[in-house]
Amino acid sequence: MKTSDDRRVVITGLGAVSCVGTGVTAYWDGLLAGGGEPADVPLPHLNMRTKKMYLVDRDEVPAEPSRHAGVELGSSPRLAVAAAEQALADAGLEDRARPALPVVLGVELGNADMQETQRSAGRTAWTTPAPAAAVVAARIGSRAAVTSVGNACSASGYALTIASDMIRAGEATAVLVGGAEGVTRAGMGAFNRLGAADPVRCRPFDRNRAGTMFGDGSAMIVLEAAGHARRRGAEPYAELAGAAWSCDAYHQTAPDPSGDQIVRAMTDALADAGLGGSDVGCVIPHGTGTPLNDVVESRALHRMFGGSTREVPLFSLKAMIGHTTGAAGAFACLTATLVLRHRRIPANIPIDQDPECDVWLPQEHPVPLGAPAVLINTYAFGGNNTSLVVRDVTRKDAGEPR
């Protein structure tokens, strides 16, 4: 019979490849140092206003695997494999555990950069983009369920909730979950045409923000049943304690100005975790830098936290690493885990804050984490919303956090 510990979901492994460095230590140090800087995108024929992204150092993009099932691979699946290997090593999962390890990955733009490079070179024979989840599963030797989630910019937020549900339902004792994105002309062009691409940088909550700016990279996480982790002697970083979905069904791209459904997602995620607003020591907002999104989310946070809203620090992650689209939720979860581990919140990028975004963004120095949980929001076109709650673990719960 399953015990309550077998239904609790803890985080035992982390992996990251980002514009601020490869590996979790480099990633955290990069956030403390102020994040990355936009760079010119290495693709030809970028006939658009905004041509920059927050890019992984191209020397750090792995060359392998170069092919999967006869398909040439771009950077996204290669980044995913690299981050996955880091997370599995960090979790201390033995090779014999890999065949039974499900893989759930949020990827919106897939293998697009390879397809676009081939087309620019005059190669007109297009193939189906290889899902990064399948590439990761094949590379690590998984024979379990493989799920690729494409819910736009909340894809890996949904992936995390799916993975958590698998463990809670007893379908798996551990799941490799995350997100990965590469460079894509199509994605950049779409946001340029929408007038939602900032030519300067990603600057959420700034009064001069002019849209978002993309970033590439991969964040991978090993989720595990707390009882399973304890029995094999693993020390969890934190617990993925709550998750919730909602949908605006308001507009193809714009959020519902009322914010009702994003308030619902936050409320339900905290309820799922058995926590309240006073337990939240930090919020990692969706905060893309688009004018409407940032205002709506700010107002929703005021509805969520009421008079204490200005006492809850926000960490604007996309200002540091750009909008990693389908991988954004995984990067936010990884960041929340590190905030809990180090018990402090890095200083935000200095901005000229929009008075309509009346939230607290500490900018001068890191601030201590004053409560045991971090709330994460991820939203997407079509009104697809997810909220996640990552909380501290104690010796009584599942072993001292490392």
For residue 148, give the 3-state DSSP assignment.
strand
Across 99-118, average pLDDT:
86
For the chain, state the CA radius of gyration. Answer: 20
pLDDT in tens, 297-306: 999 999 999 9
Residues in Cβ contact with 179 at an 8 Å cutoff, skipping those fewer than 6 apart:
105, 106, 107, 155, 156, 159, 218, 219, 324, 326, 327, 328, 329, 330, 331
The pLDDT of residue 127 is: 58
d(CA 203, CA 165): 34
Alpha-carbon span 177 to 104, nearest angstrom: 5
387, 377 Cβ separation under 8 angstroms: yes
Does residue 38 register a pLDDT over 50?
yes
pLDDT at 397 over 50: no
Mean pLDDT over 186-205 rounds to 93
Q: Find tokens 């369920």 and name the residue.
A: 145
Q: How far is CA 336 from each of CA 273, 282, 343, rounded to the nearest angstrom?
A: 15, 8, 10
* Mean pLDDT within 85-112: 92
pLDDT band, very low/low/confident/very high, at 131 (cuts 50, 70, 90)? confident
Q: pLDDT (tens digit, 9 = 90+) per residue, 265-321?
A: 999 999 999 999 999 999 999 999 999 999 999 999 999 999 999 999 999 999 999
Domains present along the chain, CATH in parentheses: 4-231 (3.40.47.10), 240-398 (3.40.47.10)
Q: Is 41 helix (H, G, I), strand (E, B) or coil?
A: coil
Which whole number is the average pLDDT over 184-196? 89
Cα separation of 351 and 311, whole Å? 19
